[in-house]
Chain A
Amino acid sequence: GNSVTQMEGPVTLSEEAFLTINCTYTATGYPSLFWYVQYPGEGLQLLLKATKADDKGSNKGFEATYRKETTSFHLEKGSVQVSDSAVYFCALPYFALSGGGADGLTFGKGTHLIIQP
């Protein structure tokens, strides 16, 4: 089935530092890829997505490029802020037991990002 591996945290950076959170995946075919974020005390929300190889998803200064050669979807941001402190999850479609399309998601374990002023 589909699976995703992301770097473990916590990741602690100073404000304005460059951020990379690694994510690699195993999947059948070329599924859409997602990054979700969970801010303290809030529910999960979609940060960005890419639907095909070489696509770049972007939002709120974050970017991730769908690399099929390396089966990766690393999250990057050029200059992090304290408000970016959150848990970040890489995700891809769930592999259905039925063998058909499935609308659920498979998530990585999450990476806790801490930004210090």
Chain B
Amino acid sequence: DTGVSQDPRHKITKRGQNVTFRCDPISEHNRLYWYRQTLGQGPEFLTYFQNEAQLEKSRLLSDRFSAERPKGSFSTLEIQRTEQGDSAMYLCASSLAPDTQYFGPGTRLTVL
């Protein structure tokens, strides 16, 4: 069990650029989640996969955001045309059962 890993750990980009983050879940976990956390706030749910199927997306996930989980393994979260308001920590979690999620260290995005 190597834990949930995320790459990159930090990303600085200019407004209007596209960025992509990767999450590698714990290997046997079929559920994968993305959250966004801004300073002084708790994580906010973005989207959820069970295997390769994206089963739920929150209202926070605007059209500029897209997430994939090909083959039910790793997942990517892409933000197109980044805005300064996208600056946040993006967290990935995985689980076998919904009541115990294992979180990665996060990717900190700064949009200049």
Contact = CB atoms under 8 A, between A and B. Distances in A.
A94 interface: yes
Interface string A83-112: 000000101011011100011111111100
A17 interface: no
Judged by DSSP, the binding face of A is: loop
Given A103-B48, A103-B50, A104-B33, A93 B98 contact: yes
Contacts, number: 67
Interface residues of B, number: 30
A109 B40 contact: yes
Contact of A49 (B33, B59, B99): B99
A82 interface: no
5 contacts: A43-B103, A44-B43, A45-B103, A96-B56, A109-B41
Interface of B: 4, 31, 33, 35, 40-45, 47-48, 50, 55-59, 91, 93, 95, 98-106
